[in-house]
Amino acid sequence: MDKLARYAETLDGAALGAHATPQLTSSDPNLSVADAYQVQKLSVDRRLARGERRIGVKMGLTSRAKMLQVGVNEVAWGRLTDAMLIEEGAAMSRARFVHPRVEPEVAFLMKAPLCGRVTAAQALAAVEAIAPAMEIIDSRYENFKFALSDVIADNTSSSGLVIGPWNDPTKDFSNLGVIVEINGQVIEVGSTAAILGHPLRSLVAAARLVAEGGEGISAGDIVMAGGITAAPTLAPGQTVRTTIQGLGSVMFRVEA
């Protein structure tokens, strides 16, 4: 087995077994971003081979709060599969994750393909609907610490998503207030403008980055635009709700 396939097997095993693994760059400090994306692809291919279905892509590290929280300052993308979906209002099991955190996000539902360099207007024309959403991130690395290549290889920490009500994408979603509550207490506040100044910029970047990776965004895909605030840690007993001004609320519960 070559080096990248071995890394993919390690990260896939860590996700499946919900255990932390050392950062790849601790033993391979020169792991390139291009090789890290190849590790990501190989590790998601292992999931697809087990019967999971690709449902879209996620953008990561698209806000200053996120970049500061993890000390990485470049945007990155990852792949979403149906096994990551958590039903809105339902419970997720903490035991399935290493050290999960939650991010308030905006989700796009695509009605047309989007690939390569596109304008914001072209990106918007390909969107069927937008929704308030949350991503469960769970770095497979010890202490939730990583360099850019590590986190890209680890599917940019993606491990779950919850989608709220779909809305008409022609409403102005450039600067909407965002509140994250845990057990009724406000934990984080922000604005959709925290996503690269406008969430649509994240979709434009996704079209370019995914195409550079040799893939595309298809009609029916979900695109997660990226975390808006720092990501609070999840623990059993929590009820987590994100509300985006004018778009509605989305919630889930955390069980042991």
Site residues, ligand 0L1 (CB under 6 A): 60-61, 66, 70, 103, 135, 137, 139, 151, 156-157, 226-227, 231
**Out of ligand 0L1, Mg ion, none, which partner does residue 242 contact, by CB within 5 to 8 A per kind?**
none
149 binds, among ligand 0L1, Mg ion, none (CB under 5 to 8 A by kind): none
Q: Which does 61 bind (CB under 5 to 8 A by kind): Mg ion, ligand 0L1, none?
A: ligand 0L1
Cα-based distances in Å from 52 to 10, 92, 151, 210: 18, 18, 21, 20
Segment lying near Mg ion (by CB under 5 A), choices 2-10, 85-93, 134-142, 233-241:
134-142
Q: Which is nearer to ligand 0L1, 67 or 122 (CB)?
A: 67
**Cβ within 8 Å of residue 71, ≥6 positions away:** none
Ranges assigned E (strand) in the chain = 54-60, 76-81, 91-93, 101-110, 127-137, 158-163, 177-182, 185-191, 222-224, 239-244, 248-255
Contacted by 80, from Mg ion, ligand 0L1, none: CB < 5 to 8 Å by type: none
Shortest CB 75 distance to ligand 0L1, Å: 8
| 75 CA to centre of own chain | 11
Contact indicator for 224, 133 with CB cutoff of 8 Å = yes
Question: What distance in Å separates the CA atoms of residue 202 and residue 97, rounded to the nearest whole number?
Answer: 27
DSSP per-residue letters across 29-69: TT--HHHHHHHHHHHHHHHHHTT--EEEEEEES-SHHHHHH
Cβ-contact 201, 120 below 8 angstroms:
yes
Q: Which does 12 bind (CB under 5 to 8 A by kind): Mg ion, ligand 0L1, none?
A: none
What residues have CB less than 8 Å from 76, skipping those under 6 apart?
59, 60, 61, 148, 151, 152, 156, 209
169 beta partners:
none
Choose from ligand 0L1, Mg ion, none: what does 190 bind? Cβ within 5-8 Å by kind.
none
Tell me the C-alpha distance between 22 and 19, whole Å.
10
Question: Which of 12, 35, 103, 154 is in the footprint of Mg ion by CB under 5 A?
Answer: 103
Q: How far is the CB of 27 from Mg ion (least distance, A)?
A: 27
227 binds Mg ion (CB under 5 A): yes
Of the pair 35, 103, the CB lying nearest ligand 0L1 is at: 103
Can residue 138 be called a binding residue for Mg ion (CB under 5 A)? no
Check residue 135 for interaction with Mg ion (CB under 5 A). yes
Instruction: Report how far apart, in Å, the C-alpha atoms of 187 and of each of 13, 104, 245 are.
Output: 32, 11, 16
* Nearest residue (CB) to ligand 0L1, 149 versus 156: 156
Q: Which is nearer to Mg ion, 110 or 223 (CB)?
A: 223
Q: Closer to Mg ion by CB, 123 or 223: give it.
A: 223
Span near Mg ion by CB under 5 A; candidates 77-85, 99-107, 123-131, 241-249: 99-107
Contacting positions for Mg ion (CB under 5 A): 103, 135, 227
